[in-house]
Amino acid sequence: MAAEQFVIGQRWISSAEKELGLGVVTDARDRRVSLSFPACGEHRTYADRNAPLTRVKYDVGDTVYDLDDQAWLVDELQDEGHITYLVTGIDGTQKALSEVELDPFVHFSGPLERLLAGNLDKPRQFQLRLHTLEHLRRLQASGVGGLLGPRVDLLKHQIYIANEVANRFAPRVLLADEVGLGKTIEAGLIIHHQRHNHRAQRILIALPDSLVHQWLVEMLRRFNLHFSVMNQARIDDAIESGDVNPFDSAQLVLCPISLFTARDENLQLACQCEWDLLCVDEAHHLVWSEQQPSIEYQAVESLAKLARGLLLLTATPEQLGLKSHFARLRLLDPDRYHSLEEFRAEEDKYQPINELIQTLLADDGAAALQSDAGRQQQLAEFIGEDRVTSLMAKLASAEAPSEMIVDTVRELLDRHGTGRVLFRNTRGSVSGFPQRCLDAVPLDMPAHYDSASLYPEQDQPEDWVELDPRVEWLEQFLKLNRKQKVLLITASAKTALALESYLTLRQGIRASVFHEGMSLLERDRSAAYFADDEAGAQVLVCSEIGSEGRNFQFAHHLVLFDLPANPDLLEQRIGRLDRIGQQHDIQIHVPYFEDSSQAVLLQWYDQGLQAFTQTCPIGGAVKQQVQTELENALADPSNAAACQGLISKTESLAKELIAVLQSGRDRLLELNSCNPSVAQNIIDQVGEAAQENALQDYMLMAFDQFGVDHQDHSEQTWVLHPSETMHSPFPELPEDGISVCFNRNKALSREELSFLSWEHPMVTATMDMVASGDHGNCSLCTLKLPPLKAGTWLLEAVYVVHCPAPKAHQLNRFLPLTPIRVLLDQGGKDLAGVVAGHQLTGLAKTLPRKTAADIVKHLKPEVEGRLGKAKTNAETQAKALLKSAREALTKEQDAELARMVALAKVNPNIRAEEISALEEQNAMAENYLKQSQLRLDALRVVVVT
Ligand SMILES: Nc1ncnc2c1ncn2[C@@H]1O[C@H](COP(=O)(O)OP(=O)(O)OP(=O)(O)O)[C@@H](O)[C@H]1O
């Protein structure tokens, strides 16, 4: 679309967000167009070429509304880039109405106007509308909206986190599940949820170069999220052509962090944009110290300050120690994590807090607390005297003491654990993982190698591959296991390259390489070559950092050509295979040189930390404490006593630290990261809300009515094509068709099918198209309905309560779009509770259009009279809806305000303005609710025969 098509003052409607109402173009320069949407106080800026906008142009004969909500009939229009309508009012007055003077609320022809004009829809169209409203209500009220759409297995630990985090306003959390438990999936669930519920629109994902493609694909195929990848070429092009800030050219942007560290201007451009959510993967690379934060840290810090929400992902949050862990928490919530010293002191408090929590959560927790003044005192130290006094009073009178205890535990975790900001699930708490088996392969050390070096080949000339016994073992191993896919990891890219070329060129083994020096495209090609089942590589040779975060669980043989000096890196290596979806036990092969430092390190990992066969959360902490002994033993591998001393000390430290973690912070984290019964409950609710059969029926009905050709392809699979009877494009339907299914399991096993859920863009846009347009909003039918007398008629009126608030307030959580249906008989009795809409449709017969129009003309005065009564009935029901919406809103607001006030007491960095901003926001939300209006959405006249 060319820029000159947009003229200031023109009215356009957003096809992606019709609910914004009529937008006014306020600026159209530099290939950008900005619009203001006065109906809901929102603004949008788009790149003009791909703006999702449709020009609003009324035709002669249409009714338009001015800013005073007066209706006018269009007689003529003058379009000079900017339209002037010549209109006639109800009283016959004529005037010129500029399009700027149009009411910002979109007025499609109202049901009463259409009815009286004899412009009637068929009963099944009316039914589709009723279904649409009912499903919208059901989905908005379900409490699990945002969790239905993703093409993922519903796993408890992920669903719990997604639900917990995504329901927050601008969440800021660290997702720290152990390697391979699905942090990317959790982030995708949160992003999809926040977008679906309009809490976040603009998302920036920043990650290591090697993961860009994997994320791009994962976001698209599992979440229908189309991210744009930002790179230097795109930025340069945009700057050269004077284009819009390239980061503003898409709502969803994915880019390597290296883009921000390569050039300061790139970071500045990204910082000039508004981001609702920033997501950073492999966040342990953000190295920090008070004196010298790394440039990656500083870049993310600048963005994190500006972005409203923040998701940091790392499997090894403490890889670089407690200080660095603190640095990441500080990015999330600088108010809560304002002092490293206090943070250290907090760590010491975890054990008593955990003990207190355990007593509270015990079966008799509430009673025990009531009878134990000492315990009440202890609780008061953490949450304050006032809270304990009010809790005791409530417990004394409460019907549901366990709920209060759970709330108190949450409060403790929030204020004194890393509760609200850190989530970590471990394999211990997630079942179904295979075993890990170690195959240590002792080899003789070549005489020219240094026995104290962990990577002796690095000091050798290029022909080392021909002489190294590990390479010889590798050849044999690969030849013996020709049918197996093997992932090999080695510390350096140079070693990886040498191995790959030797295996390929000299041994004829299909090998591929993967390291940080390769371009993104080369890396993705290489990973795809390895993944290919038929003609693919047998072995992928990876450098340490090159493979981080990648999914290779289709293989179950891992060769560690050498060992990393850091236990967290060892876990990262094994995590490439030990991931969700791994079907076999994992075989970890470690060729090593006897009597060398490699043997010492292997023994230390295996016997000291058991790091091969289990995940090892305390590896980094133990290493810090045995650093000197470890260095000495590695430097002198022949000193067996030193090695033995190291192993014994490591073993006992490991036991001790695991016990401390179990009784302290990890236990708290576990409590906080997944509550299996709550998670199961959410999964059950998702199952209920998914209504796959109802969705299929609904969409088939919509396909029929909008002219989409659908063929039953194979079991539960449909092929959709535009048909010749299709009047206008059907949302998300490509011209050359699409294959779809409505079933989650089918979608998981058949990736080529689109998974149509209630949250798929095709489905949401269809519902939007029906609900916000006039499809099926008025109808007339006849039916037999004993004992109703023939010759009488019923008026069916459907109203909705509409709250004109900016989406960011999320008020539909409290006031979902609820159809209020009234069915009045001749005596004014409301039969809505007795006869459902679909029952009427089931019995309904249509009349020829002319006959129907004559009946309406005849009934007109009575229809209008009866509609008055219907409105009164609907208003009573709307009042009750609004009352409960206000109560729910107040309850949530009070809880959030109380939390901030309580946190402010513990943390002086929470500013008074923050609390007043929250109060102001609450007041605005209440005000919007008060302004809710009842709107007539659909009308049907039912003549009894
Ligand atoms: N709910 C799910 N349904 C289907 N597949 C899943 C699910 N969760 C995770 N997976 C698959 O498991 C693998 C690991 O998931 P993911 O990459 O999100 O883990 P991670 O925790 O981010 O790993 P790392 O720590 O290595 O970065 C991926 O292949 C992912 O597609």
Q: Going by CA atoms, what residue is nearest to atom 15 of ligand 1?
A: 182
Residues 6+ apart with CB under 8 A from 128: 698, 701, 702, 705, 770, 775, 776
Please report the DSSP string for 204-221 in residue order.
Answer: EEEE-GGGHHHHHHHHHH
Residues 6+ apart with CB under 8 A from 440: 590, 592, 602, 606
Strand partners, 779: 121, 940
Joined tokens for residue 700: 């088939």
Q: Going by CA atoms, what residue is nearest to atom 25 of ligand 1?
A: 179
Handedness of CA 478, 480, 481, 483 (dihedral sign): positive
For the chain, give every domain's residue range. Answer: 3-107, 110-125+775-945, 155-336, 350-408, 436-616
Amino acid letter at 480?
L
Nearest CA-CA partner of 304 in 107, 171, 412, 458: 171
User: How far apart, in Å, are the Cα atoms of 917 and each of 173, 204, 335, 805, 900?
Assistant: 22, 26, 16, 18, 11
572 C-alpha vs ligand 1 centroid, how far in Å? 13
Handedness of CA 628, 633, 639, 645 (dihedral sign): positive
Phi and psi angles of residue 693, each rounded to the nearest 5 degrees, phi first: -70, -40
pLDDT per residue over 637-694, tens digit each? 999 999 999 999 999 999 888 877 666 556 667 777 888 888 999 999 999 999 999 9
pLDDT per residue over 68-117, tens digit each? 878 888 888 898 888 999 998 877 888 999 999 998 876 556 788 788 77
pLDDT for 664 = 54
Joined tokens for residue 435: 């075993």
214 C-alpha vs ligand 1 centroid, how far in Å? 11
181 C-alpha vs ligand 1 centroid, how far in Å? 6
Q: Going by CA atoms, what residue is nearest to atom 16 of ligand 1?
A: 182
551 C-alpha vs ligand 1 centroid, how far in Å? 7
211 C-alpha vs ligand 1 centroid, how far in Å? 13
Residue 404 buriedness (CB in 10 A; 0-12 / 13-18 / 19+):
middle
Q: How many CB atoms lie within 10 A of CB 119?
A: 16
Cα angle 92-13-98, degrees, rounded to a multiple of 5: 35
Residues 6+ apart with CB under 8 A from 668: 350, 353, 354, 357, 413, 417, 418, 419
**Is 184 annotated as contributing to ligand binding?**
yes
Q: Point out the ligand 1 atom lying closest to the alpha carbon of residue 572.
A: 26
Tell me if 152 CB under 6 Å of ligand 1: yes
Alpha carbon 1 to its chain's center: 31
Q: Point out the ligand 1 atom lying closest to the alpha carbon of residue 154.
A: 1
Q: Is the peptide bond before 786 cis (omega within 30 degrees of 0)?
A: no
52 C-alpha vs ligand 1 centroid, how far in Å? 33
Tell me if 111 CB under 6 Å of ligand 1: no
**Is 183 annotated as contributing to ligand binding?**
yes
300 C-alpha vs ligand 1 centroid, how far in Å? 24
**Is 364 annotated as contributing to ligand binding?**
no
ipTM of this complex: 0.98
326 neighbors 290 (Cβ within 8 angstroms):
no
The C-alpha atoms of residue 706 and residue 722 are separated, in whole angstroms, by 9
User: How far apart, in Å, are the Cα atoms of 804 and each of 390, 770, 928?
Assistant: 38, 19, 7
Tell me if 155 CB under 6 Å of ligand 1: yes
The C-alpha atoms of residue 656 and residue 881 are separated, in whole angstroms, by 56
303 C-alpha vs ligand 1 centroid, how far in Å? 26
Helices (H) and strands (E) in the chain, counts: 32, 30
Reported as type and span, the H/E element at residue 105 is none
Residue whose token pair is 């930025």: 235
Which of 183, 184, 217, 430 should be mutated for ligand 1, with most atoms under 8 A from CB? 184
Does the reported pTM lie above 0.90? no
Within 13 Å and on the Cβ side, how many CA atoms surround 15? Answer: 13
pLDDT per residue over 319-366, tens digit each? 556 777 788 888 988 877 878 888 777 777 777 777 788 788 777 778
Domains 155-336 and 436-616 share a fold: yes
What average pLDDT does the chain have? 86
Q: Going by CA atoms, what residue is nearest to atom 29 of ligand 1?
A: 551
Which of 311, 551, 577, 751 should be mutated for ligand 1, with most atoms under 8 A from CB? 551
pLDDT for 19 = 64
Architecture of domain 3-107: Roll (2.30)
Architecture of domain 436-616: 3-Layer(aba) Sandwich (3.40)
Nearest CA-CA partner of 287 in 263, 265, 316, 259: 316
Write the secondary structure of 611-646 as one string of H (helix), E (strand) and C (coil).
CCCCCCCCHHHHHHHHHHHHHHHHHCCCCHHHHHHH
CATH node for 155-336: 3.40.50.10810
Cα angle 601-605-611, degrees, rounded to a multiple of 5: 155
User: What are 64-71's contacts with CB under 8 Å, separation 24+?
Assistant: 64/97, 64/102, 64/103, 64/107, 65/102, 65/103, 65/105, 65/107, 66/97, 66/101, 66/102, 66/103, 67/101, 67/102, 67/103, 69/103
The C-alpha atoms of residue 590 and residue 598 are separated, in whole angstroms, by 10
190 C-alpha vs ligand 1 centroid, how far in Å? 14
Alpha carbon 810 to its chain's center: 16
pLDDT for 1 = 33
Tell me if 551 CB under 6 Å of ligand 1: yes
484 neighbors 538 (Cβ within 8 angstroms):
yes
pLDDT per residue over 248-258, tens digit each? 888 999 999 99
Cα angle 596-600-602, degrees, rounded to a multiple of 5: 110
Joined tokens for residue 776: 């099926």
Q: Going by CA atoms, what residue is nearest to atom 9 of ligand 1?
A: 182
Joined tokens for residue 155: 């796993």
**Is 79 annotated as contributing to ligand binding?**
no
Tell me if 158 CB under 6 Å of ligand 1: yes
Mean pLDDT by 10 residues, the chain (945 residues): 68 72 86 85 79 75 81 86 88 89 74 80 91 91 91 94 88 89 96 91 92 91 93 90 85 95 94 95 84 90 94 76 79 81 77 79 80 87 83 76 76 70 82 89 94 92 93 96 95 95 91 86 84 89 80 92 92 90 93 96 96 88 91 93 94 85 64 82 94 95 94 85 82 90 88 91 92 88 85 92 73 83 90 85 82 83 89 93 89 82 66 76 84 88 90
Amino acid letter at 479?
K
**Is 181 annotated as contributing to ligand binding?**
yes
Nearest CA-CA partner of 129 in 619, 881, 719, 767: 767
Tell me if 682 CB under 6 Å of ligand 1: no
The C-alpha atoms of residue 111 and residue 47 are separated, in whole angstroms, by 36
Query: Strand order in 511-514's β-sheet?
Result: 436-443, 586-593, 557-560, 486-490, 539-543, 511-514
User: How far apart, in Å, are the Cα atoms of 735 and each of 292, 642, 722, 723?
Assistant: 55, 72, 6, 10
The C-alpha atoms of residue 897 and residue 111 are separated, in whole angstroms, by 43
**Is 178 annotated as contributing to ligand binding?**
yes
